[in-house]
A and B are shown apart, each in its own frame.
Chain A
């Protein structure tokens, strides 16, 4: 059973608009959340993370929001750029020390 779900396999957004990628998790013991970006034939690149003691973390155009009661996190990219087109993976971690990844959402930003 999947512990981390990214329910949208793909998302298409116009350049300059906001991209919102969503992620749900099942275990309330998870306390560290990350987003990675992956281009085809390359390894994932770390984007941004958030600890369970916060509900928002911002880094430039990227903001991650955490709703612990709903076990939900989201990544906002604004404004979206064509270079943001990639697969975005949500990952969660806890006391066991290893990360669990979702299946990813493929973002396409159209000029």
Chain B
């Protein structure tokens, strides 16, 4: 089972602020993901990465950006937060390579509220 960490767990900020959500995993997994999830809704993939220096956009359009400079670290940045960004953000990682069946392991999530 993966050890994957997210900080902060909760964040309340004002409109227009720049924020970075941190995600780290200690299992050496190549693939990492960011999802957005609202109550009663499915998890929507917003970004993923196959490894260092790889970033891809997911199925849900997002104004956020990501970077993957180290295998274990996959931060998500919002340059200018808006109330529509209020949601739960979930980071996950997977040990599988591209095209193979994969089990994703999730962090505890960051609950973001933009006022």
CA distance A98 to B100 in the complex (A): 10
Centre residue among B9, B41, B42, B107 by max chain A CB count within 10 A: B42
| B40 A97 Cβ-Cβ under 8 A | no
Q: Does A70 count as interface, using CB distance less than 8 angstroms?
A: no
| A43 B107 Cβ-Cβ under 8 A | yes
Q: Does A95 count as interface, using CB distance less than 8 angstroms?
A: yes
Q: A2 contacts which chain B residues (CB < 8 A)?
A: 42
**B binding-site residues for A, Cβ under 8 Å:** 1, 4, 6, 9, 31, 33, 40-43, 45, 48, 58-59, 88, 90-92, 96, 98-109, 111
Interface stretch of the complex, out of A13-21, A57-65, A71-79, A99-107: A99-107
CA distance A93 to B48 in the complex (A): 15
| B101 A89 Cβ-Cβ under 8 A | no
Q: B107 contacts which chain A residues (CB < 8 A)?
A: 43
**A binding-site residues for B, Cβ under 8 Å:** 2, 4, 9, 31-32, 34, 36, 41-46, 49, 51, 89, 91, 93, 95, 97-104
Question: Do A95 and B106 contact each other (CB < 8 Å), given the known contacts A101-B43, A104-B42?
Answer: no
CB distance from B21 to the nearest CB of A (A): 13
| B105 A93 Cβ-Cβ under 8 A | no
| A43 B109 Cβ-Cβ under 8 A | yes
Question: Do A44 and B43 contact each other (CB < 8 Å), given the known contacts A97-B98, A98-B48, A98-B58?
Answer: yes
11 new A-B contacts, CB < 8 A, other than A43-B90, A43-B91, A103-B41, are A34-B103, A41-B111, A43-B6, A46-B105, A89-B42, A89-B43, A95-B99, A97-B100, A98-B33, A102-B42, A103-B42
